[in-house]
Structure 1
Amino acid sequence: MIRRACATLAATWVALCGPAWSDTLADRMQGVLDEVRQDYGFPGATAAIALPDGQVVTVASGLADIEAAIPMTPQTRMLAASIGKSFVAMTALSLEAEGLLDRADLVSDHLGHHDWYSDLPNHATMTVGDLMRHEAGLPDHVHLALFQAEMAARMAAGAAAIPPEEAIAFLAGADPLFPAGQGWAYSDTGYLLLGLVIEAASDSAYYDLVAARLLRPLGLTATTPSDRPRLPDLAVGYVAEGNPFGLPTRTMDADGALLWDPGMEWTGGGLVSTSRDLASWGHALFGGNALDTPYLDQLLDGIPVAPEAPDIRYGAGVAIYADTPRGAVYGHGGWIPGYVSSLRHYADPGVTVAFQINTDIGIADDGTDLVPTLEAALADLALSLVGAADR
């Protein structure tokens, strides 16, 4: 359905929509972003809309660095956080297409030789597919007090990132949340394990694989690993006082280096990007064009995230909203200290919307409705204009 809708509307865009129309969209996007920034008071943001033919319109608002008065631009990058899970899952699906792993594989088939593995919850029963869909019954190390204390101590000492196996070890001896495959609970720890499975199955580094299989073929040149404190063109991220990780409110020093090592995220997200690249990624991913082999059935084979919300499902690194006022919606959100990102693809008519904001104040603790408000405003703008063009 996605491909058919996009193909039909692409012809409409060629006939009806030229540079003047995209300028109109950009002007209206700018107005939306400026207005929402004024209402909510965040430092800055970028936003991008990918149209059915793949054309991407991008705008920016506010400041990338408050103290230095550096304006946000469409080229400014931010940490994409958990949107990176969609890249991790697609890398795994690409290996499955080659027969190097299978979603039905027991995780122990790939990682059971490690001494630490048998200490994990559900170590003998969880599968690769369980990790992809957050149904392995694993807690999330990021929200454990011991992990947060260790991260704060390393930040204060200027130490390197906590490596994946050490982060996973925070779950040693913990009870499972439920038997593997019999529930849903979001877990960054599960995606660190998935990253180790990917590397074991391929005998290659994850970042080399994602670059070779997805980033370079799709021309996502602004998307790179967030594996070090100094990342070119990165906006300053701002956090609340008293945050769980003990960070100062400005998370970057005057020379442009983060005060913490984002490499700790790895395959829990692990990428720095722009709204333009994220929108382009969503357009390719949900249009069935991210790989040369068919994968949409596997990508969108989701499970309900809660019994009371059967229409909200989680597939292979993507959220699925099957029934909304705007039709079927696919995507992912992202949060990491100082940065918030959103990616949403509206299946009919095939429009993708992405934005990034350089603060998590009021968002990390669900104290504001900023993210859903901006998602709705940009979606309604895009869908109304696409509908008008189609008529």
Structure 2
Amino acid sequence: MTTTRRSALGVLGASGALLATGAVARAASGSAVTPTSVDVRAFDRFVREQAAVDAFSGSLLLVHRGRPVLARSYGRANDAAPNGPDTLFAMASVTKLFTAVAIAQLAQAGRLAYTSTLGTFLSGFPAGIADTVQVHHLLTHTSGFGDTFAMPGYLAEALTWTDVDQVMNGTTDYIRRSSPEFAPGAGYRYSNAAYHLLGAIVAEVSGQSYYDYVREHVFRPAGMTATDFRTRPQWHTDPRMAHPYAKQPSGERADTIDQRLYVGTPSGDAFTTCADMARFAAALQGSKLLDRAFTGITLGGKVPLPPQPGGPPAGPHAGFQCYGPMTLLVGNQWVTGHGGGAPGTSTDFQLYPDTEWVTVILSNYDYDGGPPPVVKKARDIITA
């Protein structure tokens, strides 16, 4: 029998917890802890209202100048536990940021160049692809490769894989057999396949598995003690892990773990907490993962993004693809980060370098038509 989100809520009840430590506790008691231009209390009310009508389930954290300002958790992680500060959420495509940092570290060390071609590291691709697709193209979604999950037969076979090597090697094989949609640099298409290949390059250049490399060189130096790639069996049994509750045509939300891969890939589904992502932000901006020059290279805009739905004045006035994140000019502020989505998952991580805010929003709900209202509201209050 499929457990639906609504039936789980009926049994367990919805929960909303203020993580009342430090500045968060003072915010709850009414003391001013944030710049007056950012109405955190209005955002807090909005999130509470969304949770009350079961429109938001997850955890969030707002940080200003390294100081936690607001932390909230609502809804259920699974049938055994509510969402809380220690709940582990599948990150979907926010994982790409770790892959991009790993590539930048190897570039900083002189072990690859952004102009290096795919065939320098990975065999089995036709010469027309191996000799023309560059690391730069893979990072900026301009390689011509598309989405692995849209490749005929991929998901059906991938769901049968039961170890890490099968996932990595099997996915790479599917990409080898695919045909790019355009010549490198001739277009833009968001590409899970490209970031998987970047992870395979990390493994080839470093001599470690992709997973071991990011554990040792990204998670550990950033102090991300909870973040890791976990397997589907762990997802089923570990009460700390939020289950993905995907909205069904009936309106019910159903647990869709069995529609996810055995383990995440360089393009998606590491597991993390809000606090760990705040640590990642501090490490990245504080040059603990990369030196100052390569941090700038990674976070700087490279390729103009296609027009966004809504457009000015409602949407961003300018947007660029960076080496991993995307950066948008909103309300005369740059907003740099990444979002992620999959059935039962919606995640968002943003840096606001002009005003020194960081926002982390992790949800085990999916949403129709783009990011959840909570994500949009956070951006609106900070850029107002």
Q: TM-score, normalised by structure 2?
A: 0.78
> Structure 2: 5+ residue runs without aligned partners?
1-22, 34-39, 312-316
Instruction: Select 1:226's aligned residue among 215, 226, 230.
Output: 230
**How far apart, in 2, do the equivalents of 1:175 and 1:213 lie?**
33
Match of 1:254 in 2: none
The question of whether the paired residues in 2 share the 8 Å contact of 1:199 and 1:206 is answered with yes
2:350 pairs, out of 344, 368, 378, with 344
Deviation digits for residues 153-200 of structure 1 (CA, Å, limit 9, x no counterpart): x3xxx8557523322333445442211122211111111111111111
Distance 1:297 1:43, change over 3 A: closer
Distance 2:197 2:24 in 1: 46
Give the distance between the partners of 2:277 and 2:73, measured in 1 at CA.
Answer: 14
Q: Is residue 229–residue 261 contact of structure 1 (8 Å, CA) maintained in 2?
A: no
What is the match of residue 8 of structure 1? none
Q: Which runs of 4+ in 1 moved over 6 A?
A: 25-28, 307-310
- More deviation in 93-102 or 204-213? 204-213
Structure 1 vs Structure 2 CA RMSD: 3.0
Q: 1:55 & 1:359 partners in 2: Cα distance?
A: 24
- Deviation string, structure 1 residues 344-380 (Cα, Å, up to 9, x no partner): 11122110101111122x43xx2xx652x21232345
- Contact (CA 8 Å) 1:327, 1:346: kept in 2 or not? yes
Q: Could you give the per-residue CA deviations for residues 293-346 of structure 1, whole angstroms, max 9, x where no partner exists?
A: 53233111421122688821111110111x212611000011233211111111
Q: Which amino acid aligns with 1:62?
A: G
Residues 79 and 336, structure 1, Cα contact 8 Å, conserved in 2:
no
Question: Is the Cα contact below 8 Å between 1:44 and 1:60 reproduced in 2?
Answer: yes
- 2:378 corresponds to which residue? 378
Tell me what 2:359 maps to.
353
Equivalences for residues 1-391 of structure 1 within 5 A: 20-21=26-27, 24=30, 30-39=44-53, 41-42=54-55, 44-55=57-68, 57-65=70-78, 67-68=79-80, 70-112=81-123, 116-118=124-126, 122-151=129-158, 154=160, 163-231=167-235, 232=238, 233-241=240-248, 249-251=254-256, 258-259=257-258, 262-286=261-285, 288-299=287-298, 300-306=300-306, 311-321=318-328, 323-325=329-331, 327-360=333-366, 362-363=367-368, 366=369, 371=372, 373-381=373-381
Counterpart CA distance in 1 for 2:192 and 2:68 is 33
How far apart in 1 are the matches of 2:87 and 2:186? 41
**Which deviates more from structure 2 when the two are superposed, residues 80-89 or residues 17-26?**
17-26
Instruction: Classify 1:242/1:268 alpha carbon distance in 2 versus 1 (closer, same or farther; 3 Å).
Output: farther
SS in structure 2 of the partner of residue 281 of structure 1: helix
Contact 2:158 2:167 in 1 (8 A): no
Distance 1:351 1:284, change over 3 A: farther
Distance 1:370 1:287 in 2: 28
Q: Which amino acid aligns with 2:89?
A: M
Q: When the two structures are aligned, how many residues end up with a matched partner? A: 340
> Aligned with 2:133: secondary structure?
coil
Structure 2 counterpart SS, 1:234: coil
SS state at 1:163 partner: helix
Distance 2:105 2:173 in 1: 28
Distance verdict in 2 for CA 1:380–1:139, change over 3 Å: closer
Give 2:196's aligned amino acid.
L
Instruction: Specify whether residues 144 and 242 from structure 1 end up closer, same or farther in structure 2 by C-alpha distance, changes over 3 A only.
Output: farther
Contact 1:138/1:187 (8 A) holds in 2: yes
Shift of 1:52: 0.9
Distance in 2, matches of 1:91 and 1:270, equals: 16
Structure 1 gaps of 5+ residues are: 1-16, 252-257, 385-391
Structure 1 stretch 285-294 or stretch 47-56: which is displaced more? 285-294
Give the 3 Å change call, closer, same or farther, for CA 99–32 of structure 1 in structure 2: same
Distance 2:382 2:182 in 1: 41
Residue 43 to residue 312, structure 1, CA distance change in 2 (3 Å): closer
Percent of matched pairs sharing the same residue: 22
Deviation at 1:122, TM superposition (A): 2.5
Question: 1:290: how far off?
Answer: 3.2
Query: What is the alpha-carbon distance in structure 2 between the residues aligned to residue 97 and residue 167 of structure 1?
Result: 27
